[in-house]
Structure 1
């Protein structure tokens, strides 16, 4: 694994004094391929040499599925793996949210349809030294080029791509170092991770040390990327808090090219913003140091039943009862992941770190008794494991990508503890499922009495939530009109069906509807204005942009992919 380059605090790498962005195109738009301002090949070549030959020109991953480069054997391999994360994160440009490809290049389109760059980045720098990041930032600033931060491509909202953009690719920053951490806020084990470390890599390294790390249910998500920077829920969250609550320190290159250390003693405003204020917004994260917790027994269970042989009313009576039990479950340090369609209910899984199996069974027993009373047949399996990774590998379901469009809301605890509002929730769920959507409940407790002494920009709505509820509609390739309708359905009906129950709550910005009205309040709550001021401080040239990220409303992106400041946007199609 590559070691983490620990430069001295505030090292400027000789590149801190960037000039303001040059408007070579005569407008406040980013320079776009084909413009006179676009760098020549010789200029790109010189830049490539400056970053040790690590510049990668984008060739879309699905190119072998289209003429004139069609290769049937390679294309079939791509089709077989296209819905799995592994197919994409090994690429410098591919990403996992099909809406944002604009139908440009995937294995399912007709062979005769040209494979163009479309919304893919134009170039990526496969960074291995922090100076590579600083030089890329400098080049993007000097030539007024759109800039993107890319790690694995795990992003529902298309933040890891952009037409005509230059990106830094942090996927291969795989440094790992366990530490003994001690300050007035936390004393214990910690893990310093390069920005490219993925969940499963951290899980395996931690288990070997008798430890466990907070990360997501998808094993290939980059922990230090949008996951922790956006908050990050986990099967361990009811025990330890969100991903952002674990962070002790960041190493980050800011928009001026400075290599900074941010923690609760120095650059504290940047530390606060990076912990929950959104990924790709304040700087390029080089490493993250997070709490590592003692491992031990973990109990887990799965429960499934369907509408077979029962009425819809009976089915939803059982769902409603389950929701009333959520506080008693999550308050014991348990996370319950529930998938619901209009014909099936499944808990897959319920995870109890340091919870004895007998205790976990007692928490679900009232639900089982209710199912028996209602005459519902169910399947049920509960087991105890020696470590978190063992339980994770045995019970967490496979996560596919490119299969859905999403919207979400954070459900306050008060909704399920009140008989009247819980019944309203059931009716809202029935509305969502009546549109053939899937309703996922990530039930956790991340109130401040769980997380301990933390200082971060996590959406305050998390602290009173009983669950993050995620609504999804299936994605169909080659059906653009239907997908546009589904997108509108999510914004106009599905999310409002739930958000109307708690309009003052909010949504999880990493798993949300990117057309969410009033997104600043929904995703960031009262923190938005403070986050915007911090972004302006550390990103004075507005290099860091992502859809619905802090400050993103200062820009507009046309259908062609051209990015312009809102005040001067030309309205180009």
Structure 2
């Protein structure tokens, strides 16, 4: 564990800001006393603040910073302070109306990097309040809602430090945003100051690196690096780094902080399992290094203990591996719909290579066989990504891509043969197309394919289903029946990921990370997906939440004691402390209280967040469009 709270403030700045293995170029510019000599609001913490305000300041509140205060902060930041409007403000009649820009948002912005490079946008607008949606001939008024009032476009550590200090000293809600891949409302907050880390993108390859128990190749990269940029660096240096499945996901942001899964998770472990050293700005404004020898409490917490909680991570040093290949196989099964039915269109089209079955029961029998096979996939070091769509009138579509690392075509064929043999024995005409097995390098040059549109409003409810659910036929039948009920009776889309980042796979230093212990026993990361429309009233949203929780309860009862992955979890998850953190929660709460006695860092369902709540005007559940206040006990 790290030093006790009282000792933290007695340690010298040299110890707190020392970086063992060198800083990236943007980390060398740090906040010094001369920067805030005449502006105490940007100064470092002098100790725990005895003042316990009931709420964070809010635009219009008595102690909200004056325009002069914000101007002085901008001067300290060398002009990095932004006051951005929601992009869709261009669609509403008024001073910001711009017909051409509005048409661009609707017709073009979702096919490029526009929203990813916007300082406020996140990919789910319901958590923001949906207060300013793009629409031709939009009516009403565009409101800032849950988007931050001010944004610090951080391109140096000094920018991050000044933002953290100002927020703490002025009692302002602080949020952190990287790429905007946020499904739970952790990167938005009404009346807030946002630290935007999107442009901290450096990458350094280190063929020879030694630290404590580790000696080998490593890479050092900034928190703003996106996965497609990480893969391009892998190709450049002929190395492998554990990365995300989505190209535009931040390679070292909230994805990393809560574990971070990808195609190599069953082979090398989660993203958080790879970290050898982490650089961050903590709640006192200091720039620190955390590794197995220094600030060990943070080194534990920052590897899987949740983002937006203990500090603003600026860079990470991770293990790298030799080049590796992936062999993939795809499978598509659909239940032939009855004649003359109005079939609801699936989220992904059924291709010409889809295997069609003629009855609902045959379809579910095929899926029962495939889901039983998932444990074989993860035990072989593989993963799969699947989507099960209810199409209406007893019709369904299932698509899956299975990936085996470091595997030849012949080896993959032998691994898959038992699956297709089981199909044949069940009377299903589903065969393996060996020609589809194509080994390909894991690392390669990628382009920044655009993320999902922020109007999609995808909401996840997830469960990390454990090996116990595959231990016997009876246990598996119970697990599968719960999933079938949610799709068949509930009408929900099921997104499944076969994944097994066991403690043995994670190795060192992963076994000492704060990763949710439920990951170590997982065979299937199962998500129910819904579209949380911004047009729902608070009452309707509560009704829908109660409905989906009823089906999630069935899945939870089939997997007692299991957990959930916070990045694709439900901000309304009951007993979220256990679900998202498991047995690590008590230790993580100790780290949180010691490192952040002011509660500078807050986001829904993060460690210690139960002490605060967002008070919305309309009562919309889990929305961040309201003032942040302490929970009154």
Which residue of structure 2 lines up, in the alignment, with residue 362 of structure 1?
414
Which residue of structure 2 lines up, in the alignment, with residue 178 of structure 1?
205
1:487 and 2:533 equivalent?
no
Which residue of structure 2 lines up, in the alignment, with residue 333 of structure 1?
381
Distance 2:108 2:526 in 1: 28
In 2 relative to 1, CA 335–532 (structure 1 residues): closer, same or farther, beyond 3 Å?
A: same
Asked if structure 2 preserves the Cα contact closer than 8 Å seen for 1:226 and 1:510, the reply is yes
SS in 2 for 1:87: coil
1:4 and 2:25 equivalent?
yes
Q: 1:247 aligns with which of 275, 279, 292?
A: 275
Which residue of structure 2 lines up, in the alignment, with residue 563 of structure 1?
628
Q: 1:314 aligns with which of 348, 362, 383?
A: 362
Distance 2:436 2:562 in 1: 34
Deviations 1:280-301 (CA, angstroms, capped at 9, x unpaired): 1000111111111111332112
Distance 1:223 1:387 in 2: 19
Counterparts in 2 of 1:255-294, with a 5 A limit? 255-294=283-322
Q: 1:103 aligns with which of 119, 130, 133?
A: 130
1:438 and 2:493 equivalent?
yes
Deviations 1:253-306 (CA, angstroms, capped at 9, x unpaired): 101111100011111110100000000100011111111111133211211010
Counterparts in 2 of 1:190-269, with a 5 A limit? 190-269=218-297
Asked if structure 2 preserves the Cα contact closer than 8 Å seen for 1:13 and 1:259, the reply is no
In 2 relative to 1, CA 108–429 (structure 1 residues): closer, same or farther, beyond 3 Å?
A: farther
Distance 2:105 2:380 in 1: 43
1:51 and 2:108 equivalent?
no
Distance 2:522 2:570 in 1: 18
Distance 2:422 2:518 in 1: 31
In 2 relative to 1, CA 117–403 (structure 1 residues): closer, same or farther, beyond 3 Å?
A: closer
Which residue of structure 1 lines up, in the alignment, with residue 467 of structure 2?
413
C-alpha deviation, 1:18, in angstroms: 3.9
Which residue of structure 2 lines up, in the alignment, with residue 121 of structure 1?
148
Distance 2:209 2:544 in 1: 48
Which residue of structure 2 lines up, in the alignment, with residue 351 of structure 1?
403
SS in 2 for 1:137: helix
Deviations 1:219-264 (CA, angstroms, capped at 9, x unpaired): 1111211111101111111110011101111001101111100011
Which residue of structure 2 lines up, in the alignment, with residue 137 of structure 1?
164
Task: Name the stretch that deviates more: 107-116 or 238-247.
Answer: 107-116
Which residue of structure 1 lines up, in the alignment, with residue 88 of structure 2?
62
Which residue of structure 1 lines up, in the alignment, with residue 190 of structure 2?
163
Asked if structure 2 preserves the Cα contact closer than 8 Å seen for 1:12 and 1:259, the reply is no
Task: Name the stretch that deviates more: 294-303 or 197-206.
Answer: 294-303
Asked if structure 2 preserves the Cα contact closer than 8 Å seen for 1:385 and 1:391, the reply is no
Deviations 1:103-136 (CA, angstroms, capped at 9, x unpaired): 2011148611211111110001111221211111
Task: Name the stretch that deviates more: 378-387 or 325-334.
Answer: 378-387
Asked if structure 2 preserves the Cα contact closer than 8 Å seen for 1:21 and 1:141, the reply is no
Task: Name the stretch that deviates more: 254-263 or 432-441.
Answer: 432-441
Asked if structure 1 preserves the Cα contact closer than 8 Å seen for 2:280 and 2:287, the reply is yes
SS in 2 for 1:430: helix
Distance 2:580 2:46 in 1: 31
Asked if structure 1 preserves the Cα contact closer than 8 Å seen for 2:122 and 2:180, the reply is yes
- The Cα RMSD (Å) is 2.6
Distance 2:371 2:506 in 1: 23
Asked if structure 2 preserves the Cα contact closer than 8 Å seen for 1:237 and 1:445, the reply is yes
Which residue of structure 1 lines up, in the alignment, with residue 591 of structure 2?
534
TM-score by length of 1: 0.92
Which residue of structure 1 lines up, in the alignment, with residue 329 of structure 2?
301
In 2 relative to 1, CA 391–208 (structure 1 residues): closer, same or farther, beyond 3 Å?
A: closer
In 2 relative to 1, CA 334–134 (structure 1 residues): closer, same or farther, beyond 3 Å?
A: same
SS in 2 for 1:192: strand
Count of equivalent residues: 560
SS in 1 for 2:253: helix
Asked if structure 1 preserves the Cα contact closer than 8 Å seen for 2:389 and 2:492, the reply is yes
C-alpha deviation, 1:477, in angstroms: 4.7
1:448 and 2:503 equivalent?
yes
Distance 2:100 2:267 in 1: 47
SS in 2 for 1:374: coil
Q: 2:436 aligns with which of 365, 374, 382?
A: 382
SS in 2 for 1:171: coil
Counterparts in 2 of 1:11-90, with a 5 A limit? 13-14=32-33, 15-18=43-46, 27-68=53-94, 69-80=96-107, 86-90=113-117
Distance 1:418 1:37 in 2: 61
Distance 2:526 2:445 in 1: 23
C-alpha deviation, 1:145, in angstroms: 0.7
Distance 1:21 1:264 in 2: 30
Asked if structure 2 preserves the Cα contact closer than 8 Å seen for 1:361 and 1:382, the reply is no
SS in 1 for 2:172: coil
Asked if structure 2 preserves the Cα contact closer than 8 Å seen for 1:13 and 1:257, the reply is no
SS in 2 for 1:207: helix
TM-score by length of 2: 0.83
C-alpha deviation, 1:389, in angstroms: 3.4
Distance 2:445 2:158 in 1: 40
Task: Name the stretch that deviates more: 76-85 or 28-37.
Answer: 76-85
In 2 relative to 1, CA 34–448 (structure 1 residues): closer, same or farther, beyond 3 Å?
A: same
In 2 relative to 1, CA 397–125 (structure 1 residues): closer, same or farther, beyond 3 Å?
A: closer
C-alpha deviation, 1:163, in angstroms: 0.4
In 2 relative to 1, CA 98–384 (structure 1 residues): closer, same or farther, beyond 3 Å?
A: same
In 2 relative to 1, CA 183–142 (structure 1 residues): closer, same or farther, beyond 3 Å?
A: closer
